Amino acid sequence: MTKPVLAVTLGDVAGIGPEITAKTLLLHPDLREECVPVVVGDLDAMRRGVGHAGLDPAVVRVITDPRAATNDPAIIELLQTGESLADVPTGELSPLAGAGSYHFVVEACRLAKAGLVDAIVTAPLNKAAMQAGGHHWPGHTELLAHEFGVANFSLVLSAGDLYFFHLTTHVSLRRAIEDVTPERTDDVLTLVGAFTKALGKPDEPIGLAGLNPHAGEGRLFGDEDADILEPAVARARARGLNAHGPIPADALIPAAVRGKWNLVIACYHDQGHAPFKAVYGDDGVNITVGLPVVRVSVDHGTAFDIAGQGLAREASLVLSCRRAAQLAPGWDHVWKTARQSEAARAAVR
């Protein structure tokens, strides 16, 4: 089979993105047996990152078409996006770097829509820098959804066979509670159901975490679990999904870590992210489900405090590339199944 071509966006070049990209592509030659990684970024920043990794900056070469990549494990092939970012200081918040990270993602989306790449892998960007650079998005996930014109999507943390979907992500806790609506809960359950079908596991149990402590404890701690989440689970089961909940998060998530659940839906960002990162660290990746192309990202930030020191670990980016390469060949089925599931649910409404 033809190896999938990955558009690897460089992220915020003031952070560790260039360094971990260099280490991923040059220190793991076996990765090239699974995929063809092409960097979408900036030549000068990439060469600086290679130097930070203690390697030879001359190995970075500019190409203009990802389909022309040689996939030589001794070199990094890069698509130059925008003007040089050579003057961006390392380890400092920079509007220029923030704007660059935005343009890298937009270019990767353009390549995907044109059929020139099969998946997108993203190094970390800095949200404050991106917004200082004039691009007001909460993060990668929302920007990608906008570029592909989709409204139903979910940030998914994954380690091995475990997947944490999220009802809400980059909003305040107050806003997150407001955003846990019947419609949003239905949408995410539909996405999870489509994902399980695409994985060939349509009967896989889906555990929905409660929003409130003890999933509301019979309305003692709020009405949202009884009024919103419980009816959504019932509707999902009526559509044939093996959905359960709401289940108290402090019971559901430890059980998932022990292997009882492979599919978990968290209600808000930290409900899923905090325990996931505590347990899995560099062994986790971030997948966006609901896009027409697979997107996988590292599960960490730009780490300005260690940028440029050669200390950054590339494990999560290596894993992101491998996961993207694994998912890309069957992703069209994920996309089509999600669209069919949404259409079927809309018809019921």
In a domain, 257, yes or no: yes
Specify whether 267 is located in the same domain as 135. Answer: no
- 101-105, 323-327, 334-338, range with greatest mean pLDDT: 101-105
pLDDT over threshold 90, residue 200: no
pLDDT over threshold 60, residue 1: no
> Where do runs of H (alpha helix) occur along the chain?
17-27, 43-52, 95-113, 127-132, 140-148, 173-179, 182-198, 224, 230-238, 249-257, 269-280, 315-327, 331-348
Specify whether 237 is located in the same domain as 257. Answer: yes
Q: Identify the pLDDT of residue 160.
A: 87
In a domain, 268, yes or no: yes
Specify whether 197 is located in the same domain as 146. Answer: no
Q: Report which of 126, 152, 120 is spatially closest to residue 287, judged by C-alpha positions.
A: 120
Instruction: Give the three-state DSSP class for 184.
Output: helix
pLDDT tens, residue by residue, 147-163: 999 888 888 999 988 99
In a domain, 25, yes or no: yes
Specify whether 113 is located in the same domain as 168. Answer: no
**Of 17-26, 54-63, 191-200, the least confident:** 191-200
Q: Identify the pLDDT of residue 11.
A: 95
CA distance 35 to 210: 39
Q: What is the mean pLDDT of residues 125-145?
A: 92
DSSP annotation of 319: H
Specify whether 64 is located in the same domain as 189. Answer: no
Specify whether 35 is located in the same domain as 60. Answer: yes
In a domain, 183, yes or no: yes
| 342: confidence class by pLDDT, cuts 50, 70, 90 | low
Q: Identify the pLDDT of residue 197.
A: 84
Specify whether 194 is located in the same domain as 324. Answer: no
pTM confidence score:
0.86
pLDDT over threshold 90, residue 141: no
| 32: confidence class by pLDDT, cuts 50, 70, 90 | very high
Specify whether 278 is located in the same domain as 169. Answer: yes
Cβ contacts of residue 332 below 8 Å, gap of 6+?
A: 292
pLDDT over threshold 60, residue 27: yes
Specify whether 58 is located in the same domain as 95. Answer: yes
| 132: confidence class by pLDDT, cuts 50, 70, 90 | very high
pLDDT over threshold 90, residue 348: no
Q: Identify the pLDDT of residue 300.
A: 84
Q: What is the mean pLDDT of residues 227-247?
A: 96
In a domain, 343, yes or no: no
Q: Identify the pLDDT of residue 346.
A: 64
Provide, rounded to the nearest whole percent, the portion of the chain with pLDDT above 90: 79
Q: Identify the pLDDT of residue 294.
A: 93
Q: Quote the number of domains for the chain.
A: 2
Structural domain span for residue 279: 154-289
CA distance 190 to 241: 9
- 31-45, 143-157, 283-297, range with greatest mean pLDDT: 31-45
Instruction: Give the three-state DSSP class for 323.
Output: helix
In a domain, 349, yes or no: no
pLDDT tens, residue by residue, 297-310: 997 889 999 999 99
**Side chain identity, residue 153:** F
In a domain, 335, yes or no: no
Specify whether 199 is located in the same domain as 67. Answer: no
Q: What is the mean pLDDT of residues 26-36?
A: 96
Q: CATH number for the domain including 88?
A: 3.40.718.10
pLDDT tens, residue by residue, 202-214: 899 999 999 999 9
In a domain, 1, yes or no: yes
Specify whether 243 is located in the same domain as 305. Answer: no
Q: What is the mean pLDDT of residues 79-96?
A: 95
The residues pairing with 165 across neighbouring beta strands, listed in sequence order, are 265
CA distance 275 to 281: 10
Q: What is the mean pLDDT of residues 67-76?
A: 96
Specify whether 231 is located in the same domain as 97. Answer: no
To the nearest whole number, what is the mean pLDDT of the chain? 93
